[in-house]
């Protein structure tokens, strides 16, 4: 089941990441850098509003993953979902009102727009509020479906909606109107579609009972400690992740912030690619921690190496070949010059962030989030002033450097605080076997091939694409042989596919 779910998540998220990646230059071309800067503002506003959720959706997901299939759990889980979705409707309405009331200040008192009028800015921000109102329940329903391990159905729906979202937005920009207001209006329709589809899926897959689900705050009483700890941690995470963006949105012009937002969007493909693995691993890790401690260490390190296999070649390729990838992709020299260095630094930081995520998942499985809270609280004392100082001095490059430093700290936390406490094993095992070893091999290979690439000075676009495609593929092969726990399974899978393909050809 786990391999099937992981494959479904991998295919689904790679598809959605791929189609999102492909349409980004089209968005930038038709909207322009200044309007695209509002997309970055939307990301910050949404992250701030979703603090009202914080620990509730992870708690609901954790509860469903732990209790699904158990006797007499159906009534509790249905009441938990009903109570949470009602609360989230209220949270969405409150968020909309706050965003609506703040729209004038954000448009005229914070943003540095040159060509967009204040009326357009205000309209765009108000529409963001409508989209945010839907996001609470969409996230809840998605988490519930994943916890029920219905990843195949979820990813089919996700892929269809992503296609409609991307191609529909292009149609709107090309044939209806290329202004940011029309873009956000279309996103509202997509949010409504997501809300309806995922709610129907939850209704289908949740345990069925004759009695109706009821609203009761008592469903949270055994999880208040988890919600409180996780919520506090998420407030810290918001400050850590968004403080740099907030600083840049104030000191940069909206156009320059648009380029920075575009760089973040490119790197976010790494997060989208890593997401399916975490979504698959998290419910199973929770279950293994609760019911099968003997196999916990082996499962955990296999999960870490699965993430390393998927993410390390992609992250390092984007970091080392950022200039070439962006230029080939956008065919825009100005955009490439603006963002290639920022993309390289953000890619390194995001790669480290993904590799450092598993210790946090282990803490969630254990139910104790104290270390997360303490580390994030401590990190704020470093990150917040550094983002202000480096953001003002070096702009997006400075904030990206702070992002790398933060994730190095997270890696050290996993080594010295989380693993000794929850896994009771050698401190160096995780960092050396699951992270450092594959990174070194892949990084050396990519740096050497980049030197060769620059020496060859390839001009034809098709040859550039072929060269980088071959290098990218070889980096994954090198990565396989550096990951001891998953190498046998991956090689066995490849051999089975070869045999199957040979049989098909002989028939």
Output the pLDDT for position 291: 77
- pLDDT tens across 341-380, in order? 999 999 999 999 999 888 888 887 877 667 777 787 888 8
C-alpha–C-alpha distance, residues 5 and 2, integer Å: 5
Phi, psi of 483 (to 5 degrees): -115, 100
- pLDDT tens across 298-339, in order? 888 888 888 888 899 999 999 999 999 999 988 899 999 999
C-alpha–C-alpha distance, residues 476 and 480, integer Å: 6
Output the pLDDT for position 70: 67
H-only helix segments in 148-295: 151-171, 180-205, 224-251, 254-291
* Closest listed residue to residue 384, CA positions, set 232, 259, 245: 245
Rg (CA), the chain: 23
The average confidence (pLDDT) of the chain is 87
* Cα 315-442-459 angle, rounded to 5 deg: 75
Dihedral angle over CA of 264, 267, 273, 275, nearest 10:
-40
Output the pLDDT for position 71: 60
pLDDT by residue for the chain (507 residues), tens digit each?
Answer: 556 776 777 788 778 878 888 899 999 999 999 999 999 999 999 988 888 876 888 888 888 877 776 666 788 888 889 999 999 999 999 999 999 999 999 999 999 999 999 999 999 999 999 999 999 999 999 988 988 888 889 989 999 999 999 999 999 999 999 999 999 999 999 999 999 999 999 989 888 776 788 888 888 888 887 788 778 778 888 888 899 999 999 999 999 999 999 999 999 888 877 776 776 787 778 878 877 777 788 888 888 888 888 899 999 999 999 999 999 988 899 999 999 999 999 999 999 999 988 888 888 787 766 777 778 788 888 899 999 999 999 999 999 999 999 999 888 887 877 777 777 777 677 888 888 899 999 999 999 999 999 998 888 888 999 999 999 999 999 998 888 877 777 777 677 766 666 666 565
Output the pLDDT for position 390: 94
The answer to whether 464 and 458 have CB atoms below 8 angstroms apart is: yes
C-alpha–C-alpha distance, residues 415 and 359, integer Å: 9
Output the pLDDT for position 404: 95
C-alpha–C-alpha distance, residues 293 and 279, integer Å: 20
Place of tokens 């980004």: 24
The answer to whether 285 and 362 have CB atoms below 8 angstroms apart is: yes
The answer to whether 22 and 165 have CB atoms below 8 angstroms apart is: no
């Amino acid at each position: 089941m786990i391999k099937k779910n992981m494959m479904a998540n991998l295919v689904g998220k790679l598809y959605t990441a791929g189609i999102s990646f492909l349409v980004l230059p089209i968005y930038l071309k038709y909207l322009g850098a200044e309007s695209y800067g509002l997309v970055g503002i939307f990301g910050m506003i949404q992250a701030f509003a979703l603090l009202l959720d914080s620990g509730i959706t992870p708690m609901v997901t954790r509860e469903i993953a732990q209790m699904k299939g158990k006797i007499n759990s159906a009534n509790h889980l249905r009441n938990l979902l009903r109570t949470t979705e009602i609360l989230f409707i209220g949270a969405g309405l409150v968020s909309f009102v706050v965003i609506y009331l703040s729209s004038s200040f954000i448009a005229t008192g914070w943003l540095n727009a040159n060509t967009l009028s204040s009326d357009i800015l205000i309209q765009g921000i108000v529409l963001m509020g409508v989209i945010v109102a839907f996001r609470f329940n969409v996230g809840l329903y998605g988490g519930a479906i994943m916890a029920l391990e219905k990843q195949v159905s979820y990813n089919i729906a996700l892929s269809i909606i992503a296609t409609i979202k991307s191609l529909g937005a292009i149609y709107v920009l090309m044939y209806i109107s290329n202004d940011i207001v029309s873009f956000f209006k279309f996103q509202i329709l997509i949010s409504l579609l997501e809300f309806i589809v995922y709610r129907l899926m939850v209704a289908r897959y949740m345990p069925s009972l004759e009695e109706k689900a009821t609203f009761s705050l008592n469903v949270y009483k055994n999880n208040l400690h988890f919600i409180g700890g996780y919520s506090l941690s998420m407030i810290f995470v918001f400050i850590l992740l968004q403080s740099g963006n907030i600083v840049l949105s104030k000191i940069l012009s909206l156009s320059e912030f648009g380029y920075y937002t575009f760089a973040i969007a490119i790197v976010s493909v790494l997060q989208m690619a890593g997401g399916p693995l975490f979504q698959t691993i998290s419910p199973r890790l929770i279950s293994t921690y609760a019911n099968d401690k003997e196999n916990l260490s082996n499962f955990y390190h296999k999960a870490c190496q699965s993430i390393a296999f998927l993410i390390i070649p992609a992250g390092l390729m984007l970091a080392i070949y950022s200039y070439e990838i962006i230029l080939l992709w956008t065919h825009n020299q100005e955009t490439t010059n603006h963002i290639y260095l920022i993309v390289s630094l953000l890619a390194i930081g995001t790669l480290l962030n993904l590799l450092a995520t598993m210790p946090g998942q282990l803490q969630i499985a254990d139910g104790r989030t104290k270390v997360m809270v303490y580390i994030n609280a401590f990190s704020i004392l470093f990150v917040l002033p550094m983002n202000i100082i480096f953001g003002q001095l070096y702009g997006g490059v400075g904030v990206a450097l702070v992002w790398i430093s933060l994730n190095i700290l997270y890696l050290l936390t996993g080594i010295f605080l989380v693993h000794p406490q929850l896994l009771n094993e050698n401190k160096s095992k995780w960092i050396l076997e699951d992270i450092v070893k594959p990174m070194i091999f892949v990084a050396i290979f990519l740096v050497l091939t980049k030197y060769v690439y620059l020496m060859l000075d390839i001009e034809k676009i098709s040859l550039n694409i072929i060269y980088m495609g071959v290098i990218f593929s070889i980096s994954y092969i090198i990565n396989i042989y550096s990951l001891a726990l998953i190498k046998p399974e991956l090689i066995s899978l490849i051999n089975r596919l070869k045999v199957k393909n040979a049989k098909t050809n002989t028939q």
